[in-house]
Amino acid sequence: MLNKYARAFFTRVLTPFAAFLLRRGVSPDAVTLIGTAGVVVGALVFFPRGEFFWGTIVITMFVFSDLVDGNMARQAGTSSRWGAFLDSTLDRVADGAIFGGFALWYAGKGDDNVLCAVAIFCLASGQVVSYTKARGEAIGLPVAVNGLVERAERLVISLVAAGLAGLNGFGVPGVDVLLPIALWIVAVGSLVTLGQRVVTVRREAAEADGSPTAHGTSQGSEA
């Protein structure tokens, strides 16, 4: 939902910055790689130590690269399948680092096995939610559903909560409960979204297989 309404706004806001980078000879792929590296460092250096405020600040500085690189490619007329593949692949890496950082905190000094498991579930379910759409589209289905909690929602909910929870280290009381609440929301929301996409793919597949122009497809394993 956020992806649908917020992406256009931030694309307009970031267009001048994207144009500036192009004039300086920076490539969209370089922005994608640097942005992902920044997110991974912010998540895996700060979050496992419980430094949620500073980790969120670092991640936020780099997370918008996901919008900047695509904007740059469109402005330069260099949009490509490779660029789309690289962007999507590294998005999964960044997401894994964020929730992996939460899991490492709760497995260590955070000392909460339940929340560690919830963070791991958020990591895994986020990957599967993305996979269901990609796999459905790969077999020729539109997968015409957004879902309750997509990538944008997962990031906003978890990072805002982490940043606020990090204020506990500056003496703000009670805010440390926000991150556990956010993780549970993301976990449940991702499960609902997964169900929405599976149901949609099943319906679209049944309609496609029942149409006179439908072609048979073989089932195989995904590498």
Sign, Cα dihedral of 76, 38, 184, 177: negative
For residues 105 and 169, is the Cβ–Cβ distance under 8 A?
A: no
CA distance 22 to 75: 9
Would you tell me how many other CB atoms lie within 10 Å of the CB of residue 134? 11
Q: Which residues contact 27 (CB under 8 A, 6 or more apart)?
A: 72
Q: Tell me the CA end-to-end span of the chain in Å, nearest whole number.
A: 30
Q: What angle do CA 49, 51, 56 make, to 5 degrees?
A: 125
DSSP one-letter code for 45: I
| 91 carries an active-site annotation | yes
Nearest to 39 by CA among 134, 153, 155, 150: 155
Both tokens assigned to 67: 């919008």
Given 87, 91, 111, 209, the catalytic residue: 91
Which residues are the active-site residues? 91
